[in-house]
Amino acid sequence: MHDASNRVWPHDAAALSREQERLAALTPPPWQPGGEPFLVGGCFLAFAPGEQGPGHAGDHGWAAATVVECPGLTTVASAVVPCVVGAAYARGQLARREGPALTEAVDALTIRPDVLLVDATGRDHPRGAGLALQLGAVLGIPTIGVTQRTLLAAGDEPGLERGDRAPLWLRGEVVGAWVRTQRNVRSLAVHAAWRVDVDTAVRVVLASTGKVRAPEPLRRARTIARKSRADARATGG
């Protein structure tokens, strides 16, 4: 079992907070798709039964990453790595729990994505740099956060048609958008993160979403992670 430490991540809460503040103050050049096709990655960490939620240091998980070609939504690469996480979850400190493992999963891909979707926030964060943003900075890949709910940001619901959107505000700044990815389904929070602004984030999420609510790169990474967890349980691993 890997310890998910291929890249350097802050090991204590104070150091992580300082790094988040540093990253939030940066203004790296913005990224946009250079044309079609483009490659959208997704990553997800599934924890062992009973170790989800806030959890503890030493919890076990399976971190998966995929790369999907858009348009067409064909999977061109995938990887999964077992891991042991180094921290419990604390508000605004998800990076300590999941960052190293997700880094290792993306590093294990044989094809590098142009942009990466992360189940975490970006600018919607107490210090302006959630896991989605920090993971992009560590990996050197533009990133977008996609979550079920916001952390601090607030905004009205969008219309009911696919593609409808409404801004998410935090401290007077638009940091993301509620986006309706399918008609009459619950909207998703789409977050600006590393080198990706809100408009580009929404465009990429809609381009990588098929017939279900979740973008395909994230959905497929989640499926792979959960299958690996089930396989490990079946074999006693």
pLDDT tens sequence across 110-126: 999 999 999 999 999 99
| Encoded tokens for 222 | 């989640």
pLDDT tens sequence across 165-199: 999 999 999 999 999 999 999 999 999 999 999 99
Give the single-character DSSP code of 101: H
Tell me which residue has tokens 């890249």. Answer: 7
7 burial class (0-12, 13-18, 19+ CB within 10 angstroms)? Answer: middle
Whether residue 154 contacts residue 178, with contact meaning beta carbons closer than 8 Å, is answered with: no
CB-based contacts of 180: which residues, under 8 Å, 6+ apart? Answer: 158, 159, 160, 161, 162, 163, 164, 165, 187
Report if pTM > 0.75: yes
Q: Could you tell me the pLDDT band of residue 35, with boundaries at 50, 70 and 90?
A: confident
Q: Where are the alpha helices (DSSP H) in the chain?
A: 13-24, 94-107, 131-139, 198-207, 216-235
